Amino acid sequence: MKKNTRLQNFGLVLAGAVSASLLWHAFGVAGAASNADTYKQLNLFGDVFDRVRADYVEEPDEQQMIEAAINGMLASLDPHSSYMNKKQFADMSVQTRGEFGGLGIEVTMENGVIKVVSPIDDTPASRAGLMANDLIIKIDGTDVQGMTLNDAVDKMRGKIGTDITLTVVRDKKEPFEQKLTRDKIRVQSVKYSIENNDIGYIRISSFTEQTQEGLEKAMEHFRTTLGDKVKGYIIDLRNDPGGLLDMAISVSDTFLDKGEIVSTRGRHADETQRFNATKGDLANGKPIVVLINGGSASASEIVSGALQDHKRATLIGTRSFGKGSVQTIIPLGGEGALRLTTARYYTPAGRSIQAKGIDADIVIEEELPPELKGKNVSTEGEAGLKGHLTNEGGGDEGGGSSAYVPEDKTKDLQLKAAIDFLNGVKVVSNVKPKEEKPKEGAAPDTTAN
Residues 278 and 136 in one domain: no
Is position 203 within any domain? yes
Residues 227 and 295 in one domain: yes
Tens of pLDDT along 128-183? 999 988 999 999 999 999 888 888 988 998 888 999 999 999 988 999 999 999 99
Residues 235 and 138 in one domain: no
Q: Specify the CATH number for the domain of residue 414.
A: 3.90.226.10
pLDDT of residue 168: 96
| Maximum C-alpha span of the chain | 86
pLDDT of residue 310: 98
Is position 53 within any domain? no
Is position 113 within any domain? yes
User: In this model, does residue 44 exceed pLDDT 80?
Assistant: yes
Q: How confident is the model at residue 119 (pLDDT cuts 50, 70, 90)?
A: confident
Beta bridge partners of 12: 7
Residues 129 and 192 in one domain: no
Return the SS3 of 125: helix
pLDDT of residue 435: 60
Residues 306 and 351 in one domain: yes
CA distances from 218 to 89, 182, 192, 221, 246 (A): 32, 30, 6, 5, 19
Tens of pLDDT along 57-81? 999 999 999 999 999 999 999 999 9
Separation CA 356–CA 324 (nearest Å): 9
* Contacting residues for 196 by C-beta, under 8 A, at least 6 apart: 231, 419, 423
pLDDT of residue 34: 58
Is position 447 within any domain? no
Please name which of 426, 314, 404 lies closest in space to residue 359, comparing C-alpha atoms: 314
Q: What is the dihedral of CA 241, 246, 249, 250, to 10 degrees?
A: -110
* Contacting residues for 67 by C-beta, under 8 A, at least 6 apart: 83, 85
Residues 172 and 256 in one domain: no
Question: Residues with catalytic annotation?
Answer: 298, 309, 323
Residues 167 and 227 in one domain: no
- On whether the CB atoms of residues 208 and 392 are closer than 8 A, the answer is no
| DSSP states along 20-65 | HHHHHHHHHHHHHTS-HHHHHHHHHHHHHHHHHHHHSSS---HHHH
Tens of pLDDT along 219-269? 999 999 999 999 999 999 999 999 888 999 999 999 999 999 999 999 999
Is position 156 within any domain? yes
Q: What is the dihedral of CA 274, 280, 285, 288, to 10 degrees?
A: -50
- On whether the CB atoms of residues 406 and 416 are closer than 8 A, the answer is no
Residues 152 and 211 in one domain: no
Tens of pLDDT along 376-417? 778 889 999 989 999 988 888 876 788 999 989 999 999 999
CA distances from 141 to 104, 136, 155, 262, 346 (A): 20, 11, 12, 43, 42
Is position 36 within any domain? no
Query: What pTM was estimated for this model as a whole?
Result: 0.74
pLDDT of residue 6: 39
Q: Which residues of 184-199 are buried (b: 16+ CB within 10 A; e: fewer)?
A: ebebbbbebeebeeeb
Length of the chain (residues): 449
Q: How confident is the model at residue 16 (pLDDT cuts 50, 70, 90)?
A: very low
Name the helix (H) or strand (E) containing 6: strand 5-8
Separation CA 328–CA 85 (nearest Å): 16
Please state the φ and ψ torsions of residue 431, each to the nearest 5 degrees: -115, 130
Q: Which of 185, 214, 245 is the last residue of a domain?
A: 185
Separation CA 72–CA 94 (nearest Å): 26
pLDDT of residue 36: 81
* Contacting residues for 279 by C-beta, under 8 A, at least 6 apart: 257, 258
Residues 298 and 377 in one domain: yes
Is position 58 within any domain? no
DSSP percent split of the chain into helix, strand, coil, nearest 5:
30, 25, 45
Return the SS3 of 154: helix
Return the SS3 of 179: strand
Residues 274 and 399 in one domain: yes
Please state the φ and ψ torsions of residue 97, each to the nearest 5 degrees: -80, -5
- On whether the CB atoms of residues 239 and 132 are closer than 8 A, the answer is yes
Residue-range definition of the domain harbouring residue 199: 188-328+342-422
- On whether the CB atoms of residues 218 and 195 are closer than 8 A, the answer is no
**Structural domains in the chain (count):** 2
